[in-house]
Structure 1
Amino acid sequence: MLLLSARRLKFLSLALLMSGGTVVLTHQWLQGAEMRAATQARAQGPAVTAPQTRVLVVRSAVPAGTILRPDQVQWQAWPTEAVNAAYFTQANSQIAQVQGAVARSSIAAGQPLTRDGVVQPGDRSFMAAVLRPGYRAVTINVSASTAVAGFVMPGDHVDLILSRNLDEGGQAKRFVSETVLSDVRVVGLDQRANDAKDKDPKDPKKDIAVPQTATLEVTPKGAEVVAVVGELGKLSLSLRSLADGSQPAEHRVVTRTSDRDATQMAAVRPAARKATAAAAKAPQVEVIRGGQSSTVAVAGGGQS
Protein backbone atom coordinates (compact mmCIF):
# COMPACT_ATOMS: atom_id res chain seq x y z
CA MET A 1 0.00 0.00 0.00
CA LEU A 2 2.80 2.37 0.87
CA LEU A 3 4.56 1.53 -2.38
CA LEU A 4 1.38 2.23 -4.37
CA SER A 5 0.86 5.57 -2.63
CA ALA A 6 4.43 6.68 -3.36
CA ARG A 7 4.03 5.78 -7.01
CA ARG A 8 0.76 7.71 -7.25
CA LEU A 9 2.39 10.78 -5.70
CA LYS A 10 5.18 10.65 -8.28
CA PHE A 11 2.68 10.59 -11.15
CA LEU A 12 0.72 13.48 -9.68
CA SER A 13 3.85 15.54 -9.21
CA LEU A 14 4.95 14.85 -12.76
CA ALA A 15 1.53 15.87 -14.10
CA LEU A 16 1.65 19.13 -12.17
CA LEU A 17 5.10 19.94 -13.50
CA MET A 18 4.02 19.29 -17.10
CA SER A 19 0.89 21.44 -16.69
CA GLY A 20 2.88 24.31 -15.26
CA GLY A 21 5.42 24.07 -18.05
CA THR A 22 2.67 24.14 -20.65
CA VAL A 23 1.18 27.31 -19.13
CA VAL A 24 4.57 29.03 -19.07
CA LEU A 25 5.36 28.09 -22.66
CA THR A 26 1.94 29.20 -23.90
CA HIS A 27 2.28 32.56 -22.13
CA GLN A 28 5.71 33.13 -23.64
CA TRP A 29 4.42 32.23 -27.10
CA LEU A 30 1.52 34.68 -26.84
CA GLN A 31 3.83 37.47 -25.70
CA GLY A 32 6.10 36.78 -28.61
CA ALA A 33 3.16 36.87 -31.08
CA GLU A 34 2.01 40.21 -29.70
CA MET A 35 5.49 41.67 -30.01
CA ARG A 36 5.82 40.44 -33.59
CA ALA A 37 2.40 41.92 -34.50
CA ALA A 38 3.31 45.28 -32.94
CA THR A 39 6.63 45.36 -34.76
CA GLN A 40 4.94 44.59 -38.07
CA ALA A 41 2.29 47.30 -37.50
CA ARG A 42 4.99 49.89 -36.75
CA ALA A 43 6.79 48.90 -39.90
CA GLN A 44 3.65 49.31 -42.06
CA GLY A 45 2.68 52.69 -40.55
CA PRO A 46 -0.90 54.03 -40.01
CA ALA A 47 -3.83 52.79 -42.12
CA VAL A 48 -4.19 54.73 -45.38
CA THR A 49 -7.65 56.22 -46.17
CA ALA A 50 -8.76 57.33 -49.63
CA PRO A 51 -8.69 61.15 -50.04
CA GLN A 52 -12.10 62.84 -50.06
CA THR A 53 -13.49 66.15 -51.33
CA ARG A 54 -16.63 67.91 -50.11
CA VAL A 55 -19.09 68.42 -52.97
CA LEU A 56 -22.55 69.96 -53.16
CA VAL A 57 -25.41 67.41 -53.26
CA VAL A 58 -29.22 67.70 -53.10
CA ARG A 59 -30.91 66.71 -49.83
CA SER A 60 -33.97 65.22 -51.53
CA ALA A 61 -35.10 64.41 -55.06
CA VAL A 62 -35.40 67.50 -57.28
CA PRO A 63 -37.74 67.44 -60.32
CA ALA A 64 -36.76 69.11 -63.57
CA GLY A 65 -37.55 72.82 -63.63
CA THR A 66 -37.20 73.27 -59.85
CA ILE A 67 -35.87 76.64 -58.70
CA LEU A 68 -33.21 75.68 -56.14
CA ARG A 69 -33.07 77.08 -52.61
CA PRO A 70 -30.12 76.91 -50.15
CA ASP A 71 -32.03 74.54 -47.86
CA GLN A 72 -32.30 71.97 -50.68
CA VAL A 73 -28.53 71.35 -50.92
CA GLN A 74 -25.68 70.46 -48.54
CA TRP A 75 -21.95 69.68 -48.52
CA GLN A 76 -21.02 65.99 -48.46
CA ALA A 77 -17.69 64.10 -48.53
CA TRP A 78 -17.02 62.42 -51.88
CA PRO A 79 -14.09 60.27 -53.06
CA THR A 80 -11.63 62.63 -54.70
CA GLU A 81 -10.92 60.22 -57.56
CA ALA A 82 -14.65 60.24 -58.42
CA VAL A 83 -15.05 64.04 -58.38
CA ASN A 84 -15.93 65.47 -61.78
CA ALA A 85 -14.66 68.87 -62.91
CA ALA A 86 -18.29 70.01 -63.27
CA TYR A 87 -19.09 69.38 -59.57
CA PHE A 88 -19.57 72.25 -57.13
CA THR A 89 -16.80 71.71 -54.55
CA GLN A 90 -16.31 73.50 -51.26
CA ALA A 91 -12.90 74.66 -52.48
CA ASN A 92 -14.22 76.62 -55.47
CA SER A 93 -17.93 77.19 -54.81
CA GLN A 94 -20.46 78.51 -52.31
CA ILE A 95 -24.04 77.43 -51.65
CA ALA A 96 -25.23 80.92 -52.59
CA GLN A 97 -24.09 80.27 -56.18
CA VAL A 98 -26.92 77.79 -56.79
CA GLN A 99 -29.68 79.85 -55.17
CA GLY A 100 -32.26 80.63 -57.84
CA ALA A 101 -30.70 78.22 -60.36
CA VAL A 102 -33.00 75.78 -62.15
CA ALA A 103 -32.48 72.03 -62.51
CA ARG A 104 -32.33 71.03 -66.19
CA SER A 105 -33.39 67.46 -65.38
CA SER A 106 -34.46 65.42 -62.36
CA ILE A 107 -31.77 64.86 -59.70
CA ALA A 108 -31.94 61.95 -57.25
CA ALA A 109 -31.47 62.52 -53.53
CA GLY A 110 -27.81 62.57 -52.48
CA GLN A 111 -26.53 63.12 -56.02
CA PRO A 112 -23.98 65.89 -56.69
CA LEU A 113 -25.00 69.06 -58.50
CA THR A 114 -23.14 69.79 -61.72
CA ARG A 115 -22.64 73.08 -63.49
CA ASP A 116 -24.10 71.57 -66.66
CA GLY A 117 -27.11 70.24 -64.73
CA VAL A 118 -28.42 73.66 -63.66
CA VAL A 119 -29.29 76.86 -65.48
CA GLN A 120 -28.21 80.06 -63.77
CA PRO A 121 -30.35 83.23 -63.73
CA GLY A 122 -29.42 85.39 -66.68
CA ASP A 123 -28.64 82.49 -69.01
CA ARG A 124 -30.45 82.66 -72.35
CA SER A 125 -32.28 79.37 -71.77
CA PHE A 126 -33.15 80.09 -68.15
CA MET A 127 -36.88 80.75 -68.60
CA ALA A 128 -37.31 77.70 -70.86
CA ALA A 129 -35.72 75.57 -68.11
CA VAL A 130 -38.05 77.01 -65.46
CA LEU A 131 -41.21 75.98 -67.33
CA ARG A 132 -42.67 72.56 -66.67
CA PRO A 133 -43.22 70.33 -69.72
CA GLY A 134 -46.35 71.33 -71.64
CA TYR A 135 -46.57 74.84 -70.14
CA ARG A 136 -46.08 78.31 -71.60
CA ALA A 137 -44.80 81.63 -70.26
CA VAL A 138 -46.87 84.81 -70.68
CA THR A 139 -46.15 88.30 -69.34
CA ILE A 140 -48.58 90.94 -68.09
CA ASN A 141 -48.08 94.51 -66.94
CA VAL A 142 -48.40 95.05 -63.19
CA SER A 143 -48.03 97.88 -60.70
CA ALA A 144 -47.81 98.25 -56.94
CA SER A 145 -51.59 98.00 -56.64
CA THR A 146 -52.08 95.10 -59.07
CA ALA A 147 -49.08 93.04 -57.82
CA VAL A 148 -49.83 93.06 -54.07
CA ALA A 149 -47.41 95.95 -53.43
CA GLY A 150 -44.42 93.87 -54.51
CA PHE A 151 -45.04 90.98 -52.10
CA VAL A 152 -45.48 88.55 -55.00
CA MET A 153 -42.23 86.65 -55.62
CA PRO A 154 -41.11 84.12 -58.26
CA GLY A 155 -42.38 80.71 -57.25
CA ASP A 156 -45.56 82.06 -55.61
CA HIS A 157 -49.00 81.01 -56.85
CA VAL A 158 -51.62 83.64 -57.72
CA ASP A 159 -55.10 84.09 -59.15
CA LEU A 160 -55.49 86.32 -62.22
CA ILE A 161 -58.38 88.81 -61.91
CA LEU A 162 -59.88 90.86 -64.74
CA SER A 163 -61.66 94.17 -64.01
CA ARG A 164 -63.51 95.87 -66.87
CA ASN A 165 -66.25 98.30 -67.80
CA LEU A 166 -69.50 96.91 -69.18
CA ASP A 167 -70.70 99.03 -72.08
CA GLU A 168 -74.49 99.02 -71.94
CA GLY A 169 -75.28 101.31 -74.85
CA GLY A 170 -74.92 104.77 -73.36
CA GLN A 171 -76.43 104.03 -69.97
CA ALA A 172 -74.58 104.55 -66.68
CA LYS A 173 -71.15 102.87 -66.52
CA ARG A 174 -71.15 99.37 -65.09
CA PHE A 175 -68.09 97.48 -63.82
CA VAL A 176 -67.43 93.79 -63.22
CA SER A 177 -64.46 91.69 -62.06
CA GLU A 178 -63.86 87.98 -62.45
CA THR A 179 -61.15 85.43 -61.71
CA VAL A 180 -60.14 84.22 -65.16
CA LEU A 181 -57.30 81.90 -64.04
CA SER A 182 -56.67 80.35 -60.64
CA ASP A 183 -53.55 78.86 -59.02
CA VAL A 184 -51.02 80.15 -61.56
CA ARG A 185 -47.30 79.96 -60.76
CA VAL A 186 -45.24 83.16 -61.05
CA VAL A 187 -41.97 82.34 -62.79
CA GLY A 188 -40.52 85.83 -63.15
CA LEU A 189 -40.84 89.48 -62.21
CA ASP A 190 -39.43 91.94 -64.73
CA GLN A 191 -36.31 90.07 -65.96
CA ARG A 192 -35.53 88.15 -62.77
CA ALA A 193 -36.74 84.70 -61.88
CA ASN A 194 -35.59 84.45 -58.25
CA ASP A 195 -36.12 86.56 -55.16
CA ALA A 196 -32.42 86.87 -54.31
CA LYS A 197 -31.57 89.38 -57.03
CA ASP A 198 -31.95 93.14 -56.63
CA LYS A 199 -32.08 93.00 -52.85
CA ASP A 200 -30.83 95.74 -50.58
CA PRO A 201 -27.67 94.25 -48.91
CA LYS A 202 -28.43 96.14 -45.71
CA ASP A 203 -31.98 94.82 -45.63
CA PRO A 204 -32.32 91.50 -47.56
CA LYS A 205 -36.09 91.49 -46.98
CA LYS A 206 -36.59 94.77 -48.83
CA ASP A 207 -36.96 94.93 -52.59
CA ILE A 208 -35.26 97.82 -54.32
CA ALA A 209 -38.10 98.32 -56.83
CA VAL A 210 -41.67 97.21 -57.37
CA PRO A 211 -41.89 95.08 -60.53
CA GLN A 212 -43.55 96.41 -63.65
CA THR A 213 -44.16 93.05 -65.35
CA ALA A 214 -44.96 89.54 -64.14
CA THR A 215 -44.35 86.35 -66.10
CA LEU A 216 -46.80 83.52 -65.43
CA GLU A 217 -46.63 79.80 -66.17
CA VAL A 218 -49.86 78.70 -67.87
CA THR A 219 -51.19 75.99 -70.14
CA PRO A 220 -51.49 76.70 -73.88
CA LYS A 221 -55.21 77.43 -73.38
CA GLY A 222 -54.37 79.68 -70.45
CA ALA A 223 -51.98 81.64 -72.67
CA GLU A 224 -54.84 82.33 -75.09
CA VAL A 225 -57.06 83.45 -72.22
CA VAL A 226 -54.42 85.88 -70.93
CA ALA A 227 -53.92 87.32 -74.42
CA VAL A 228 -57.66 88.05 -74.76
CA VAL A 229 -58.43 89.38 -71.29
CA GLY A 230 -55.42 91.69 -71.52
CA GLU A 231 -57.36 93.62 -74.20
CA LEU A 232 -60.61 93.73 -72.21
CA GLY A 233 -59.55 95.57 -69.07
CA LYS A 234 -57.15 95.76 -66.14
CA LEU A 235 -55.45 92.60 -64.82
CA SER A 236 -54.52 92.11 -61.18
CA LEU A 237 -52.74 89.39 -59.22
CA SER A 238 -54.23 87.88 -56.05
CA LEU A 239 -51.60 86.11 -53.93
CA ARG A 240 -52.50 82.61 -52.71
CA SER A 241 -51.46 81.15 -49.36
CA LEU A 242 -48.63 78.62 -49.27
CA ALA A 243 -50.92 76.38 -47.23
CA ASP A 244 -53.32 76.08 -50.19
CA GLY A 245 -50.97 73.80 -52.09
CA SER A 246 -50.84 73.71 -55.88
CA GLN A 247 -53.24 72.24 -58.41
CA PRO A 248 -52.11 70.22 -61.45
CA ALA A 249 -53.12 73.08 -63.78
CA GLU A 250 -54.68 76.50 -63.60
CA HIS A 251 -58.47 76.61 -63.46
CA ARG A 252 -60.83 78.79 -65.46
CA VAL A 253 -63.41 81.22 -64.09
CA VAL A 254 -63.88 80.75 -60.35
CA THR A 255 -65.93 83.79 -59.27
CA ARG A 256 -67.52 86.88 -60.82
CA THR A 257 -68.48 90.07 -58.99
CA SER A 258 -70.39 93.03 -60.47
CA ASP A 259 -70.53 96.55 -59.11
CA ARG A 260 -74.04 95.89 -57.80
CA ASP A 261 -72.71 92.87 -55.88
CA ALA A 262 -69.85 94.91 -54.44
CA THR A 263 -71.79 98.00 -53.36
CA GLN A 264 -75.36 99.30 -53.37
CA MET A 265 -74.11 102.65 -54.61
CA ALA A 266 -73.84 101.14 -58.09
CA ALA A 267 -77.60 100.51 -58.26
CA VAL A 268 -79.71 102.73 -60.54
CA ARG A 269 -80.65 105.91 -58.69
CA PRO A 270 -84.39 106.57 -58.04
CA ALA A 271 -84.16 109.87 -59.92
CA ALA A 272 -82.72 108.09 -62.92
CA ARG A 273 -85.51 105.53 -62.80
CA LYS A 274 -88.13 108.32 -62.69
CA ALA A 275 -86.53 110.11 -65.63
CA THR A 276 -86.48 106.90 -67.62
CA ALA A 277 -90.14 106.20 -66.80
CA ALA A 278 -91.17 109.77 -67.67
CA ALA A 279 -89.40 109.55 -71.00
CA ALA A 280 -91.25 106.33 -71.75
CA LYS A 281 -94.64 107.99 -70.97
CA ALA A 282 -93.98 111.19 -72.95
CA PRO A 283 -96.29 111.80 -75.98
CA GLN A 284 -94.81 110.76 -79.28
CA VAL A 285 -95.57 111.81 -82.83
CA GLU A 286 -94.71 110.21 -86.13
CA VAL A 287 -92.80 112.43 -88.56
CA ILE A 288 -92.65 111.57 -92.28
CA ARG A 289 -89.84 113.06 -94.38
CA GLY A 290 -89.41 112.07 -98.00
CA GLY A 291 -91.16 108.77 -97.54
CA GLN A 292 -89.24 107.90 -94.33
CA SER A 293 -91.01 107.92 -90.99
CA SER A 294 -89.61 108.33 -87.48
CA THR A 295 -91.08 108.61 -83.99
CA VAL A 296 -90.19 111.70 -81.91
CA ALA A 297 -91.03 112.34 -78.24
CA VAL A 298 -92.80 115.66 -77.61
CA ALA A 299 -90.84 117.86 -75.21
CA GLY A 300 -92.65 118.96 -72.04
CA GLY A 301 -94.78 115.83 -71.84
CA GLY A 302 -97.60 117.45 -73.81
CA GLN A 303 -98.20 120.14 -71.15
CA SER A 304 -99.41 123.52 -72.40
Structure 2
Amino acid sequence: MKNIPPLLLLVLAVVFGGFAAYIASGWLKARARPAARDSVAMMPAVAAARNIAPGSVLIPELLKVVQLPKEHVAADAATDLKALEGRVTRQLIVAGEVIQEHELAPKGAPGGMAGIIGNDKRAVTIKVDEASGVAGFIVPGNRVDVLLSLDRNEFKNDPVTQIVLQNLPVLGTGQDIEQQKAGERPKVVPTVTLEVTPEEGERLALAAKEGTITLALRGWTEKAAIPTAGARVSALLTPEKKAAANFEGPIPPPAKVGVEVIRGVGREMVNF
Protein backbone atom coordinates (compact mmCIF):
# COMPACT_ATOMS: atom_id res chain seq x y z
CA MET A 1 0.00 0.00 0.00
CA LYS A 2 3.00 2.30 0.65
CA ASN A 3 3.94 2.10 -3.05
CA ILE A 4 0.46 3.15 -4.35
CA PRO A 5 0.43 6.76 -5.46
CA PRO A 6 -2.08 9.00 -3.66
CA LEU A 7 -3.66 10.02 -6.97
CA LEU A 8 -4.46 6.40 -7.83
CA LEU A 9 -6.02 5.88 -4.41
CA LEU A 10 -8.23 8.90 -5.04
CA VAL A 11 -9.34 7.56 -8.41
CA LEU A 12 -10.14 4.12 -6.95
CA ALA A 13 -12.10 5.71 -4.15
CA VAL A 14 -14.21 7.69 -6.64
CA VAL A 15 -14.87 4.58 -8.80
CA PHE A 16 -15.88 2.33 -5.90
CA GLY A 17 -17.96 5.11 -4.40
CA GLY A 18 -19.88 5.59 -7.67
CA PHE A 19 -20.46 1.84 -7.98
CA ALA A 20 -21.79 1.66 -4.44
CA ALA A 21 -24.12 4.59 -5.14
CA TYR A 22 -25.43 2.85 -8.29
CA ILE A 23 -26.14 -0.39 -6.38
CA ALA A 24 -27.89 1.51 -3.60
CA SER A 25 -30.04 3.45 -6.08
CA GLY A 26 -31.17 0.22 -7.81
CA TRP A 27 -32.02 -1.37 -4.49
CA LEU A 28 -34.11 1.60 -3.42
CA LYS A 29 -35.99 1.66 -6.73
CA ALA A 30 -36.73 -2.08 -6.48
CA ARG A 31 -38.24 -1.55 -3.05
CA ALA A 32 -40.28 1.40 -4.32
CA ARG A 33 -42.00 -0.61 -7.10
CA PRO A 34 -44.08 -2.90 -4.83
CA ALA A 35 -45.07 0.15 -2.83
CA ALA A 36 -46.30 1.83 -6.02
CA ARG A 37 -48.30 -1.25 -6.98
CA ASP A 38 -49.78 -1.45 -3.52
CA SER A 39 -50.96 2.14 -3.86
CA VAL A 40 -53.44 1.11 -6.66
CA ALA A 41 -56.74 0.16 -5.05
CA MET A 42 -57.69 -3.39 -6.08
CA MET A 43 -60.96 -5.24 -5.56
CA PRO A 44 -62.36 -8.72 -6.33
CA ALA A 45 -64.76 -9.31 -9.22
CA VAL A 46 -66.42 -12.46 -10.54
CA ALA A 47 -65.68 -13.38 -14.16
CA ALA A 48 -66.68 -16.21 -16.48
CA ALA A 49 -64.23 -19.12 -16.37
CA ARG A 50 -65.36 -20.11 -19.88
CA ASN A 51 -68.00 -19.06 -22.42
CA ILE A 52 -71.45 -19.18 -20.81
CA ALA A 53 -74.48 -19.56 -23.09
CA PRO A 54 -77.76 -17.63 -22.60
CA GLY A 55 -80.19 -19.40 -20.27
CA SER A 56 -77.41 -21.14 -18.32
CA VAL A 57 -77.72 -21.63 -14.56
CA LEU A 58 -74.54 -20.35 -12.92
CA ILE A 59 -72.51 -22.86 -10.89
CA PRO A 60 -69.06 -22.43 -9.28
CA GLU A 61 -67.35 -24.35 -12.11
CA LEU A 62 -68.40 -21.62 -14.57
CA LEU A 63 -67.00 -18.77 -12.47
CA LYS A 64 -63.71 -17.43 -11.15
CA VAL A 65 -62.67 -14.54 -8.90
CA VAL A 66 -60.19 -12.03 -10.32
CA GLN A 67 -58.47 -8.99 -8.78
CA LEU A 68 -58.90 -5.79 -10.78
CA PRO A 69 -58.16 -2.10 -10.23
CA LYS A 70 -61.19 -0.65 -8.49
CA GLU A 71 -61.55 2.10 -11.08
CA HIS A 72 -61.96 -0.51 -13.86
CA VAL A 73 -64.83 -2.41 -12.21
CA ALA A 74 -68.36 -1.44 -13.32
CA ALA A 75 -70.89 -0.37 -10.71
CA ASP A 76 -73.12 -3.42 -11.32
CA ALA A 77 -70.26 -5.93 -11.55
CA ALA A 78 -70.58 -9.09 -9.48
CA THR A 79 -68.14 -9.31 -6.57
CA ASP A 80 -69.50 -12.28 -4.59
CA LEU A 81 -69.21 -15.71 -6.25
CA LYS A 82 -71.63 -17.42 -3.88
CA ALA A 83 -74.29 -14.77 -4.52
CA LEU A 84 -74.25 -15.72 -8.23
CA GLU A 85 -74.92 -19.42 -7.73
CA GLY A 86 -78.29 -20.34 -9.25
CA ARG A 87 -78.65 -17.12 -11.25
CA VAL A 88 -79.52 -17.43 -14.96
CA THR A 89 -77.69 -15.65 -17.79
CA ARG A 90 -79.74 -13.56 -20.22
CA GLN A 91 -77.05 -13.34 -22.89
CA LEU A 92 -73.75 -14.86 -23.98
CA ILE A 93 -70.92 -14.13 -21.51
CA VAL A 94 -67.44 -14.61 -22.94
CA ALA A 95 -64.65 -16.30 -20.97
CA GLY A 96 -62.79 -13.74 -18.84
CA GLU A 97 -65.62 -11.19 -18.94
CA VAL A 98 -66.69 -9.77 -15.59
CA ILE A 99 -70.32 -10.68 -14.95
CA GLN A 100 -72.71 -7.74 -14.54
CA GLU A 101 -76.21 -7.63 -13.13
CA HIS A 102 -77.88 -6.51 -16.37
CA GLU A 103 -76.61 -9.72 -18.03
CA LEU A 104 -78.61 -11.87 -15.61
CA ALA A 105 -82.29 -12.78 -15.32
CA PRO A 106 -84.12 -11.68 -12.16
CA LYS A 107 -83.44 -13.74 -9.06
CA GLY A 108 -85.53 -16.91 -8.97
CA ALA A 109 -85.92 -17.13 -12.76
CA PRO A 110 -85.76 -20.70 -14.11
CA GLY A 111 -83.02 -21.86 -16.43
CA GLY A 112 -83.53 -22.28 -20.15
CA MET A 113 -85.49 -20.10 -22.57
CA ALA A 114 -88.22 -19.07 -20.11
CA GLY A 115 -85.66 -17.54 -17.79
CA ILE A 116 -84.23 -15.13 -20.33
CA ILE A 117 -87.42 -13.68 -21.85
CA GLY A 118 -87.91 -10.07 -20.77
CA ASN A 119 -91.02 -8.64 -19.14
CA ASP A 120 -94.00 -8.28 -21.51
CA LYS A 121 -92.08 -10.18 -24.19
CA ARG A 122 -92.60 -13.51 -25.94
CA ALA A 123 -90.37 -16.03 -27.72
CA VAL A 124 -91.39 -16.96 -31.29
CA THR A 125 -89.55 -19.55 -33.38
CA ILE A 126 -89.48 -19.33 -37.17
CA LYS A 127 -88.03 -21.62 -39.83
CA VAL A 128 -85.30 -20.27 -42.07
CA ASP A 129 -83.09 -21.72 -44.77
CA GLU A 130 -79.30 -21.55 -44.82
CA ALA A 131 -79.29 -18.39 -46.94
CA SER A 132 -82.08 -16.47 -45.18
CA GLY A 133 -80.51 -17.33 -41.83
CA VAL A 134 -77.28 -15.52 -42.83
CA ALA A 135 -75.55 -18.83 -43.57
CA GLY A 136 -75.36 -19.92 -39.93
CA PHE A 137 -73.72 -16.73 -38.63
CA ILE A 138 -76.71 -15.81 -36.44
CA VAL A 139 -76.14 -16.83 -32.81
CA PRO A 140 -77.94 -16.10 -29.52
CA GLY A 141 -77.31 -12.54 -28.41
CA ASN A 142 -77.37 -11.12 -31.95
CA ARG A 143 -80.06 -8.73 -33.20
CA VAL A 144 -81.78 -9.03 -36.56
CA ASP A 145 -84.25 -7.34 -38.89
CA VAL A 146 -87.03 -9.38 -40.51
CA LEU A 147 -87.62 -8.97 -44.26
CA LEU A 148 -90.84 -10.25 -45.85
CA SER A 149 -91.07 -11.14 -49.55
CA LEU A 150 -94.51 -11.51 -51.19
CA ASP A 151 -95.23 -12.79 -54.70
CA ARG A 152 -98.87 -13.90 -54.50
CA ASN A 153 -102.28 -12.32 -55.07
CA GLU A 154 -101.89 -8.59 -55.80
CA PHE A 155 -98.10 -8.98 -55.75
CA LYS A 156 -98.05 -11.78 -58.32
CA ASN A 157 -97.05 -9.54 -61.23
CA ASP A 158 -94.84 -7.25 -59.16
CA PRO A 159 -93.26 -9.06 -56.16
CA VAL A 160 -92.22 -6.93 -53.19
CA THR A 161 -89.78 -7.21 -50.28
CA GLN A 162 -89.86 -4.97 -47.22
CA ILE A 163 -88.48 -4.88 -43.67
CA VAL A 164 -91.42 -5.54 -41.35
CA LEU A 165 -89.68 -5.85 -37.96
CA GLN A 166 -86.38 -4.40 -36.74
CA ASN A 167 -83.83 -4.91 -33.97
CA LEU A 168 -85.21 -8.17 -32.59
CA PRO A 169 -83.00 -10.06 -30.10
CA VAL A 170 -82.05 -13.63 -31.01
CA LEU A 171 -82.74 -15.94 -28.06
CA GLY A 172 -81.67 -19.20 -29.66
CA THR A 173 -81.01 -21.21 -32.79
CA GLY A 174 -81.80 -24.82 -33.54
CA GLN A 175 -83.23 -27.29 -36.02
CA ASP A 176 -86.63 -28.70 -36.87
CA ILE A 177 -87.55 -31.88 -38.72
CA GLU A 178 -89.97 -31.53 -41.63
CA GLN A 179 -91.75 -34.68 -42.75
CA GLN A 180 -91.68 -35.19 -46.51
CA LYS A 181 -93.81 -37.28 -48.88
CA ALA A 182 -93.91 -41.04 -48.50
CA GLY A 183 -90.57 -42.57 -49.45
CA GLU A 184 -88.62 -39.31 -49.02
CA ARG A 185 -86.21 -38.65 -46.20
CA PRO A 186 -87.21 -36.06 -43.55
CA LYS A 187 -85.69 -32.61 -44.10
CA VAL A 188 -83.74 -30.79 -41.39
CA VAL A 189 -84.67 -27.09 -41.33
CA PRO A 190 -82.75 -24.44 -39.30
CA THR A 191 -84.82 -22.41 -36.84
CA VAL A 192 -84.28 -19.10 -35.07
CA THR A 193 -86.08 -18.02 -31.89
CA LEU A 194 -86.67 -14.27 -31.53
CA GLU A 195 -87.80 -12.15 -28.59
CA VAL A 196 -90.83 -10.05 -29.54
CA THR A 197 -93.70 -8.10 -28.06
CA PRO A 198 -97.14 -9.73 -28.44
CA GLU A 199 -97.93 -7.41 -31.37
CA GLU A 200 -94.60 -8.16 -33.05
CA GLY A 201 -95.29 -11.87 -32.54
CA GLU A 202 -98.57 -11.57 -34.45
CA ARG A 203 -96.89 -9.80 -37.36
CA LEU A 204 -94.02 -12.28 -37.41
CA ALA A 205 -96.32 -15.31 -37.44
CA LEU A 206 -98.44 -13.82 -40.25
CA ALA A 207 -95.36 -12.91 -42.28
CA ALA A 208 -93.99 -16.44 -41.97
CA LYS A 209 -97.31 -17.87 -43.17
CA GLU A 210 -97.97 -15.52 -46.09
CA GLY A 211 -94.52 -15.03 -47.61
CA THR A 212 -90.83 -15.79 -47.41
CA ILE A 213 -88.86 -14.63 -44.36
CA THR A 214 -85.27 -13.40 -44.59
CA LEU A 215 -83.23 -12.31 -41.56
CA ALA A 216 -80.74 -9.44 -41.80
CA LEU A 217 -78.01 -9.54 -39.15
CA ARG A 218 -77.40 -6.20 -37.40
CA GLY A 219 -74.07 -4.82 -36.26
CA TRP A 220 -73.28 -5.10 -32.58
CA THR A 221 -73.80 -1.38 -31.90
CA GLU A 222 -76.64 -0.71 -34.38
CA LYS A 223 -79.89 -0.01 -32.51
CA ALA A 224 -81.85 2.57 -34.52
CA ALA A 225 -84.86 1.63 -36.65
CA ILE A 226 -84.55 2.72 -40.28
CA PRO A 227 -87.82 3.26 -42.21
CA THR A 228 -87.88 1.85 -45.74
CA ALA A 229 -90.39 1.92 -48.61
CA GLY A 230 -89.68 -1.65 -49.69
CA ALA A 231 -88.39 -2.86 -53.04
CA ARG A 232 -90.42 -4.08 -56.04
CA VAL A 233 -89.29 -6.03 -59.08
CA SER A 234 -90.60 -3.26 -61.33
CA ALA A 235 -88.23 -0.79 -59.65
CA LEU A 236 -85.24 -3.04 -60.29
CA LEU A 237 -85.62 -2.99 -64.09
CA THR A 238 -84.25 -0.40 -66.52
CA PRO A 239 -86.81 1.53 -68.67
CA GLU A 240 -86.00 -0.68 -71.68
CA LYS A 241 -86.55 -3.87 -69.72
CA LYS A 242 -89.76 -2.47 -68.22
CA ALA A 243 -91.16 -1.83 -71.69
CA ALA A 244 -90.26 -5.34 -72.82
CA ALA A 245 -91.78 -6.86 -69.66
CA ASN A 246 -95.04 -4.91 -70.07
CA PHE A 247 -95.47 -5.74 -73.82
CA GLU A 248 -97.96 -8.58 -74.11
CA GLY A 249 -98.32 -8.92 -77.92
CA PRO A 250 -96.26 -11.15 -80.22
CA ILE A 251 -92.88 -9.85 -81.28
CA PRO A 252 -93.05 -8.84 -85.01
CA PRO A 253 -90.49 -10.35 -87.39
CA PRO A 254 -87.68 -8.05 -88.50
CA ALA A 255 -88.42 -5.94 -91.59
CA LYS A 256 -87.07 -7.35 -94.87
CA VAL A 257 -84.77 -5.39 -97.16
CA GLY A 258 -85.73 -5.55 -100.91
CA VAL A 259 -84.30 -4.33 -104.21
CA GLU A 260 -86.41 -3.70 -107.34
CA VAL A 261 -84.81 -5.27 -110.44
CA ILE A 262 -85.88 -4.02 -113.94
CA ARG A 263 -85.40 -6.37 -116.87
CA GLY A 264 -86.57 -4.72 -120.10
CA VAL A 265 -90.21 -3.83 -119.54
CA GLY A 266 -90.52 -6.20 -116.54
CA ARG A 267 -90.02 -5.33 -112.84
CA GLU A 268 -89.15 -7.76 -110.02
CA MET A 269 -88.66 -7.23 -106.25
CA VAL A 270 -85.85 -9.27 -104.74
CA ASN A 271 -85.90 -9.53 -100.90
CA PHE A 272 -82.83 -10.17 -98.75
Normalised TM-score (structure 2): 0.49
Q: Between Structure 1 and Structure 2, which shows a larger proportion of helix residues?
A: 1
Larger radius of gyration: 1
TM-score normalised to structure 1 length: 0.44
